[in-house]
A and B are shown apart, each in its own frame.
Chain A
Amino acid sequence: DAKTTQPTSMDCAEGRAANLPCNHSTISGNEYVYWYRQIHSQGPQYIIHGLKNNETNEMASLIITEDRKSSTLILPHATLRDTAVYYCIVRLAPSNFGNEKLTFGTGTRLTIIP
């Protein structure tokens, strides 16, 4: 799986959009970008994933550059409960043959400021 690079920490004002960048310059054509977050030592929580098109769900939006070498997770209206460590993970799509591994780096510690 390709490695990812994320900033160690970021702050964002409550109510503003939080934009979390991730570099994955060695991503291969069949690898997806996944985002998970971990709130204060709880179990990680899935947020969103994508291949090359931008994706949006009830939690966040994922913007992937055209060359797929980087992406940005956007939390549109950050709340205090969004304070967490956010992990950007590149992996093959799950299948019946494996690809089960989630490789968690150190992530970005996002702090929402009141």
Chain B
Amino acid sequence: DADVTQTPRNRITKTGKRIMLECSQTKGHDRMYWYRQDPGLGLQLIYYSFDVKDINKGEISDGYSVSRQAQAKFSLSLESAIPNQTALYFCATSNEGQGLNEQFFGPGTRLTVL
């Protein structure tokens, strides 16, 4: 089983709809992240969380919200989706605060907003 899973893997929705993307991890990591990738570009950080009680905005948090329901779960919500939120979304985890140096990424969710 994959260590970092994302659901759904693909989603098509309409403008104005509320969408939730889920991320779960079995690595036991404290830190979780949500990134967005637009075609041909690198990843941009949306939100990150160092533990269940900690939520921080990234570079492009406007239009998004997150919830860290448990150590293993971090969900991303689009309260009212708009077409320019069409992108590939990645969840990642890490234990970098404990001296490790890499982030582990999920397989991605491809979101299309019509």
Contact = CB atoms under 8 A, between A and B. Distances in A.
A101 B43 CA distance: 11
A45 interface: yes
Majority secondary structure, A binding face: loop
A78 B102 CA distance: 23
Given A95-B97, A100-B96, A43 B58 contact: no
Interface of B: 4, 31, 33, 40-45, 48, 50, 58-59, 88, 90, 92, 94, 96-97, 99-108, 110
Interface stretch (A15-23, A62-70, A102-110): A102-110
Given A100-B96, A102-B103, A44 B43 contact: yes
Contact of A102 (B41, B43, B100): B43
Contacts of A94: 94, 96-97, 99-101
B56 to A, nearest CB: 8
Contacts of B31: 100
Interface in A40-59: 41-46, 49
B54 to A, nearest CB: 11
Give the interface residue-count category, chain A. Answer: 20 to 34
A46 B100 CA distance: 12
Given A42-B105, A43-B4, A101-B59, 9 more contacts: A42-B108, A43-B92, A94-B100, A95-B96, A100-B48, A100-B96, A105-B42, A106-B41, A106-B42
